[in-house]
Amino acid sequence: MRMSLGMPRRVLMLSAVLLGMAGPLAAQDAGSTTQTATPVVSDRFVSPAARAVLDRMTNYLRGLERFSVTADATRDEVVAFGYKLQNNEHATLVVERPNQIRVDLDGDILSRRFYYNGKMFVMYSPDDKVYINTPASENLDRLIGGLLDAGVEMPLIDVIYQSFAGTLTEAVRGGILVGDSTVNGVACDQLAFRQANVDWQLWVEKGARPLPRKVVITTRYEVGDPQYQAVMTWNLQPKIDKTTFNFTPPAGVEEIPFADAAAVQDGGK
């Protein structure tokens, strides 16, 4: 049996898809973080104020040696006649530089476990009682590129990528700093961006820890304009031991071939 455990590609990754405006709006954005009028995002450019918040966040993430982040998320599923169902999921990501990660996902649609220790990549489906175990690129950026090429979507993979690279505006056409907001009691800057087929919003913590706290992604030009939303909680001193990034198969679990092993090994090159 050959099987690929890729997750449904209902939501584009933030690393590839996370969010212009007329001159007067840009001036308003630069001069104040509290808007009195409804902000508008067009396809012109990313305002300096919005780019400054993103740069501050990316630079901070790059400086973290280890961290964990949990995300409580909802994902729209469009079914017959355009009716939207909302699915819930909970994900936990643990990262230790330079190249160790673990992701645990439990959701209404599926559950997955991902392990990467710098040499081997494991993807485990507890519902199906199967796993893949394949040699992987020792370069985390290339591994992520290979996973995306293979159609494997790890929850929060965008957070991993941004902590090492920082390319959120690569495909962005326009973006603004909307203003002040609060997420679970944390003061944040709210940003809004537009890409060709995706609108997204990002809430970044104010102050000394500019961490991403919330994201909303809207897929345009699809029936129902489905959305993905995640609220994130961070731990910058997580407990990590030698078992965190290594997978031990439970009894009765079968190892199966990974159809896209080459992409993971060489980063899709």
Binning pLDDT at 50, 70 and 90, where does residue 254 land?
very high
% of the chain exceeding 90 in pLDDT: 58
* Closest C-alpha to 261, from 170, 144, 154, 146: 146
Binning pLDDT at 50, 70 and 90, where does residue 241 land?
very high
Binning pLDDT at 50, 70 and 90, where does residue 233 land?
very high
Q: Say if CB 84 and CB 77 are below 8 A apart.
A: yes
Handedness of CA 62, 63, 64, 70 (dihedral sign): negative
One-letter amino acid identity for 254? E
Which residues are CB-contacts of 265 (< 8 A; sequence separation ≥ 6)? Answer: 134, 135, 136, 137, 146
- Dist. CA 234–CA 236, nearest whole Å: 6
**154 or 52: which carries more pLDDT confidence?**
52
Phi, psi of 12 (to 5 degrees): -70, 150
Residue 202 has pLDDT above 80, yes or no: yes
**11 or 251: which carries more pLDDT confidence?**
251
Judged on CB neighbours under 10 Å (0-12, 13-18, 19+), 56 is middle
Q: What CA–CA distances, in Å, run from 193 to 44, 158, 182?
A: 11, 16, 19
Mean of per-residue pLDDT scores for the chain: 82
At 139 the pLDDT is: 82
At 268 the pLDDT is: 53
* Closest C-alpha to 57, from 153, 193, 159: 159
Binning pLDDT at 50, 70 and 90, where does residue 261 land?
confident
Residue 136 has pLDDT above 80, yes or no: yes
Binning pLDDT at 50, 70 and 90, where does residue 177 land?
very high
**15 or 105: which carries more pLDDT confidence?**
105
For residues 254-258, give the mean pLDDT: 94
Domains and CATH numbers, the chain: 14-266 (2.50.20.10)
For residues 171-194, give the mean pLDDT: 95
Binning pLDDT at 50, 70 and 90, where does residue 151 land?
confident
